Amino acid sequence: MNLSYGTDFRLPVLQKISRRVHPVQVVALSFALLTLIGAVLLSLPISHRQPTRFIDALFTSTSAACVTGLTVVDTCTHFTLFGQLVILTLIQTGGLGIMTFSAFFAHLVAGRVSIRGRDMIESTFGGSNISKLGNFVLGIVLSTLVIEAIGALILSFRFMLDYPVNRSLYLGLFHSIAAFCNAGFSLFPNSLESYVADATVTTTIMILIILGGIGFWVLFDLFNLMRKPNSHRSLTLHSKVALLCSATLILVGAAGLLFFEWHNSLKELPFGGKLLGAAFQSITPRTAGFNTVKISAMTNASLLLIMLLMFIGASPGSTGGGIKTTTFGVLLAMTVARLRDKKQVQVFNRGVPEAIISKAIGIAFFWLVAIATVSMLLLITEHPGGTHELGHSLFLEVLFEAFSAIGTVGLSTGITPLLSTSGKVFIIILMYVGRVGPVTLALAMAFQRPLNVRLAEEQLWVG
């Protein structure tokens, strides 16, 4: 592939700005611009059947562009077909990133991407030193379209049992894109609760969520391994950690939810339905946001478990959010190493650089501070009488909402439509930070100029 210094794939509106700011900041600005454009489009009379305030349009646009799924109005009944297509476009564009699509079309037309463009793509997917960038971007877009098309076909054939052909095709396409992009938007008023025991729908959605959340790095790594099964090539350390953490979280989450909800929200379901319901609700908090079980009807223990899953989220280089599975894996390995008094943090017989450990700690700490700050603000702005049918306290509901927003998940106990204007603004900020935070925070250290001198150290007692 030819790599040109002169070819620039950037959007014209970002071209002048990007010369003055770092590529990481351009990526963050692109998401902000996308949400504003979406909010304007959703505010147009052609987009909605009922009067829509701009704050609600901005909330919906941010939720879609940041692939979250939290909604203040019902997507199916409130928005027209045009408005729903705007939301679907925001989900697809936000899931892969504006820079990815820009680079994709530039590669098709010119076959080249600039050095500046390379920096932006690497910033978008949280990696560095991507070889054959054009092929990488092409692979992302094509694999996304193929996976979403297969998912859409399977779901459409299943929905044809309940709806007309045209409606079924639309429902299949919408939910396939939303699932792969890990956005919890649904055209059903109760999400996927009506299909809790339907193996076809739930299994397809779960697979799409996993494929979208595992990360393109891992998908390409697995593809290359399967393409040459007899070679000496093995999975990278990143793929091993991402796959192990993802599988562990799914199994532990499903077992926990099955135990907590066996005599509660799952009690009316047959054994197979219980297994599907628990497995689905274990996978969807990893930033997808669909639900087959009513969240407000779940036990407090289940809600706490789901919050932990939302906090960890998906894997780097994916359409999902959270602190990421590899970050969690590094923190866990560091804890084990410290408890065993080991000088080096090791994973799969490989040492983890101290810079990566520091970055993981910084990301997790930032997430906790952001969640605590917004939760406190929401407790101040929201009316304390807003409890739901099982008497969950406002504190739990607000905390759950904050975890869901920053993790770009979309699950809610039902408080989202009841938020005040201030509360909506806080959640909008949290969703935006959750989508671009891993990029802007994790890579912020990468472009800071290193100190030429090492400062004198002094004893500091902690713990």
Span 248-274, pLDDT tens digits: 999 999 999 999 999 999 999 999 999
3-state secondary structure of 412: coil
Chain centroid, CA 107 distance in Å: 26
Chain centroid to CA 257: 21
Tell me how far apart the alpha carbons of residues 100 and 106 are, in angstroms, rounded to a whole number: 10
Range in 23-27, 238-242, 421-425 with the lowest mean pLDDT:
23-27
**Most confident range, picked from 12-26, 157-171, 303-317:** 157-171
Q: What is the pLDDT of residue 114?
A: 53
- Per DSSP, the three-state class of 215 is coil
The pLDDT value given to residue 288: 86
Q: What is residue 305's predicted lDDT score, i.e. its pLDDT?
A: 95
Cα 214 from Cα 234, distance rounded (Å): 17
Place of tokens 């010369």: 19
Confidence check: pLDDT of 57 > 80: yes
119 pLDDT band, cuts 50/70/90, is low
At residue 48, the 3 state secondary structure works out as: strand
Quickly tell me which residue has 């891992």 as its tokens.
218
Q: Which two tokens stand for residue 353?
A: 């650089």
pLDDT of residue 292: 93
Q: Give the model's pLDDT for residue 12.
A: 52
Q: Phi and psi of 350, rounded to 5°?
A: -130, 140
Q: How confident is the model at residue 61 (pLDDT cuts 50, 70, 90)?
A: very high
pLDDT at position 321 over 60: yes
Confidence of residue 245 (pLDDT cuts 50, 70, 90): very high
Tokens of residue 318, six digits: 């994916």
Where are the alpha helices (H) located in 340-454, listed in sequence order? 354-381, 394-406, 421-442
| Statement: residue 25 has pLDDT above 70 | no
Tell me the pLDDT band of 203, cut-offs 50, 70 and 90: very high
Model confidence at 117, pLDDT cuts 50, 70, 90, reads low
For residues 1-25, one letter each, b for 16 or more C-beta atoms within 10 angstroms of the residue's C-beta and e for the rest, the string is eeeeeebbbbeeebeeebeeebbbb
State CA 424 to chain mean position distance.
Answer: 19
Q: 3-class SS at 346?
A: strand
pLDDT at 8: 46
Q: Tokens in use for 214? A: 């595992």
Percent of residues, the chain, with pLDDT higher than 70: 78
Mean pLDDT value across residues 409-434? 91
Range in 102-116, 262-276, 277-291, 356-370 with the lowest mean pLDDT: 102-116
Lowest-pLDDT range, 32-41, 105-114, 395-404?
105-114
Position with higher pLDDT, 230 vs 350: 350
Closest CA relative to residue 100, chosen from 35, 33, 177, 11: 11
pLDDT at residue 9 is higher than 60: no
Residue 347 bridge partners (DSSP): 350
For residue 282, pLDDT over 90 is answered with yes
pLDDT > 90 in the chain, percent: 52
Sequence-ordered list of residues with C-beta below 8 angstroms from that of 449, at least 6 positions apart, any chain: none
Mean pLDDT of all residues in the chain? 83
pLDDT value of residue 456: 73
User: Residue 386 has what pLDDT?
Assistant: 47
Gap between the Cα atoms of 205 and 154, Å rounded: 10
How many H helices and E strands in the chain? 18, 2
pLDDT greater than 70 at residue 364: yes
Residue 109 has pLDDT above 50, yes or no: no
Residue 139 has pLDDT above 90, yes or no: no
Q: Where are the beta strands (DSSP E) in 279-394?
A: 346-347, 350-351
